[in-house]
């Protein structure tokens, strides 16, 4: 298996996720990649739309067939965030931070969207369509995306998307093959090194607390006002206080 073999490149698709899903159901193998210059109906997390102008973003999806239980699929989100962060740093010399679970930030602004979509049979994972969108050459954003940035803006120069794609696929394959061999521990450690959420007072989906760390399935661990450790599996992180000296898990 080599990620990106085969690779299907399109000028325009409805979404790389749906194009890859169709290929998977027609028998495409693990590591198949679909990349597009533009998506007409790109999607982000929680049903949000992904808007792009042709040629400004790196937009692709990777087919995975992991040996994971359904409850552990969120590990792939954190793994992918680490892989993309490493690839970006190697190609551009800017250092991304990670906001739980998988938002990649530069200067506190988001520049990457990740969307793993699993197909299940009972509790078994059949396949995962892993969608990745990177803001590469945008120089301006509409008002509704005022909190976004791009690699070109942060690096101060144009970025070639082709070597960036190759670097992301290489780091993604590295971490993906490390997961069954060594477990979640190595991913956990690398994610934590870049995390900006830990040690901060946050509210996630109505649950408030001090962010302590992440569990083995990627859940965020919060210490609430009653000093209980609470698991949070989904939601937007809103920071409500500064950094404190807190243990990290």
Which domains occur in the chain, in start order? Answer: 7-194 (3.30.930.10), 200-243 (2.30.30.100)
Between 4 and 43, residue with greater pLDDT? 4
Q: Residue 7: how many CA atoms within 13 Å on its side-chain side?
A: 13
CB 3 within 8 A of CB 29: no
Residues 6+ apart with CB under 8 A from 159: 91, 92, 136, 137, 151, 152
pLDDT of amino acid 135: 96
pTM, 2 dp: 0.91
pLDDT band of residue 107 (cuts 50, 70, 90) is very high
pLDDT at 239 over 90: no
The predicted model gives 176-187 an average pLDDT of 95
Gap between the Cα atoms of 59 and 42, Å rounded? 9
Alpha helices in the chain (DSSP H): 16-25, 74-92, 151-155, 161-182, 185-194
Q: How confident is the model at residue 202 (pLDDT cuts 50, 70, 90)?
A: very high
Residue 44's pLDDT is 55
Does residue 14 sit in helix, strand or coil? Answer: coil
Answer whether residue 246 shows pLDDT above 50: no
Structure tokens at 95: 């250092």
Gyration radius of the chain's alpha carbons: 18
Confidence of residue 93 (pLDDT cuts 50, 70, 90): confident
Rounded distance, CA 79 to CA 233, Å? 16
- pLDDT for residue 43: 63
């Amino acid at each position: 298996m080599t990620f990106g073999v085969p690779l299907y490149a399109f000028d325009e698709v409805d979404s790389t996720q749906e194009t890859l899903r169709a290929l998977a159901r027609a028998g495409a193998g693990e590591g198949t990649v679909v990349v597009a210059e533009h998506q007409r109906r790109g999607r982000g997390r929680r049903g949000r739309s992904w808007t792009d102008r042709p040629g400004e973003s790196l937009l692709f999806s990777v087919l995975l067939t992991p040996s994971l239980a359904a409850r552990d699929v969120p590990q792939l989100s954190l793994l992918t965030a680490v892989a993309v962060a490493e690839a970006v740093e190697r190609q551009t010399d800017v250092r991304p931070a990670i906001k739980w679970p998988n938002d990649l930030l530069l200067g506190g602004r988001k520049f990457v969207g990740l969307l793993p979509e699993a197909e299940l049979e009972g509790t078994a994972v059949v396949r995962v369509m892993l969608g990745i969108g990177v803001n590469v050459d945008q120089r301006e954003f509409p008002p509704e995306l005022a909190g976004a940035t791009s690699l070109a803006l942060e690096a101060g120069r144009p970025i070639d998307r082709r070597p960036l794609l190759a670097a992301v696929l290489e780091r993604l394959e590295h971490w993906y093959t490390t997961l069954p061999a060594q477990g979640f521990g190595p991913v956990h450690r690398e994610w934590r090194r870049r995390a900006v959420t830990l040690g901060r007072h946050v509210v996630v989906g109505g649950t408030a607390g001090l962010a302590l760390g992440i569990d083995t399935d990627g859940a965020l661990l919060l210490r609430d006002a009653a000093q209980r450790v609470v698991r949070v599996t989904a939601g937007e992180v809103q920071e409500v206080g500064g950094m404190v000296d807190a243990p990290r898990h």
